[in-house]
A = this chain, B = another copy of it.
Amino acid sequence: MSNKSSGVTSSDVARVAGVSQSAVSRAFTPGASISDHTRARVLAAASKLGYRPNAIARTLITRQSQIVAVVASYLENPFYLSVIEQISHLLRKEGYHLLLLVSDTGEADEFLMQLMQYQADGVILVSTTLSSTIAQTCEQMGVPVVLFNRISKHGNVNSVASDNYAGGRLAARTLLDAGHRDVAFIAGLENTSTSRDRELGFKDELSAAGITRYQRAVGHYSFHDARAAVIELFERRSGGWKRPEAVFVANDHMAIAVLDTLRHELRLRVPHDVSVIGFDNAAPAGWLAYQLTTIEQPARSMVENTVDLLIRQMRGSRAKAQAVIAPVRLIVRETVRGLSPTTEEAATCA
């Protein structure tokens, strides 16, 4: 049985083609200085021998691995599925490969070590809680890094996020316009900028309308915890609170759980008894059984921005770090009282 990578090296090819090893290298380097004739000889010999350049050896010398590490968590959330898929596409189109690190528990340091050992040319941090730590270390080491859907507190780090604050306001405004006053918020992870900013916008818009308090519970961006959160919200009737008329849920994945729980466990009608609004416009939000009214993040363009920013850095740009804020918009479906779909896309399956 032949060796891995066929065990054929560039010097084998050189010998067969009757040229030097350098010629072989040039034949496989786009834009290198080599005659068509020589290249043809090399390519012939190469394919005859089943030669494939060894990317590892090349990396060692060029110091470019063509590998981008993507650190992600919450793969439970369908929204990030499409994000990763698209990152993979765009990256490959530019000749990069994707090393995926799924970070469930918070072993930030271990990750970093691994990334660095593999000489990743760049890092994309997809919505992970470890973002700040990792991002900073990468930055210090001179490794290009972009945060997706997180904002870095300290620093000079590129990031792409949607306008979570505006989204929060928009959610509140939507609920307010529907005539709701007793509203509630189900948070994601408390220590994430996404959840915090969405809540902040929500709160500010309510305040502007003279509403200074709202009920809240925490769903940790998990389906399971969101169910518990909504039950807590609707069954615990202490502290002078009335039952909420409307709930803003920090993301669609949790909102689905909320909808299910409200309808099938608490026997409440949505939007008749209670309105629900989510965030993301993930695929299930458009499914006909839910038709969730939600704040859309422009996932596609956010990913494009992210990859673009990263590639620019990897190609050597020394531009000041940017913080791209993508616009959000309301997708009207059927879970907020008094609103019905106006745009045709609201009726599709997203």
Contact = CB atoms under 8 A, between A and B. Distances in A.
Interface of A: 1-6, 52-57, 59-60, 63, 65, 67, 70, 75-76, 78, 81-82, 84-85, 88-89, 92, 97-102, 104, 113-114, 116-119, 140-143, 223-224, 227, 256-257, 259-261, 263-265, 283-284, 287-290, 349
Given A5-B117, A54-B60, 20 more contacts: A2-B140, A2-B141, A2-B142, A4-B63, A4-B119, A5-B116, A53-B117, A54-B117, A55-B119, A56-B59, A57-B60, A67-B99, A75-B81, A75-B82, A75-B84, A85-B102, A89-B104, A98-B101, A259-B289, A263-B288
B56 A60 contact: yes
Contacts of A114: 55, 97
25 contacts: A2-B142, A4-B63, A5-B119, A52-B113, A52-B117, A54-B117, A55-B114, A56-B56, A56-B65, A57-B60, A75-B85, A89-B102, A89-B104, A97-B99, A97-B114, A97-B118, A98-B100, A98-B101, A99-B99, A260-B288, A260-B289, A263-B288, A264-B288, A265-B288, A289-B290
A142 B101 contact: no
Contacts of A227: 349
Given A63-B4, A82-B75, A349 B257 contact: yes
Contacts of A82: 75-76
Contacts of A97: 99, 101, 114, 118
A92 B81 CA distance: 20
B102 A1 contact: no
A142 B3 contact: yes
Contacts of A85: 75, 102
Interface centre among A4, A52, A99, A102 (most CB of B within 10 A): A4
Nearest to A289: B289
A267 to B, nearest CB: 12
Contacts of A118: 55-56, 97
A67 B88 CA distance: 17
Contacts of A60: 54, 56-57, 60
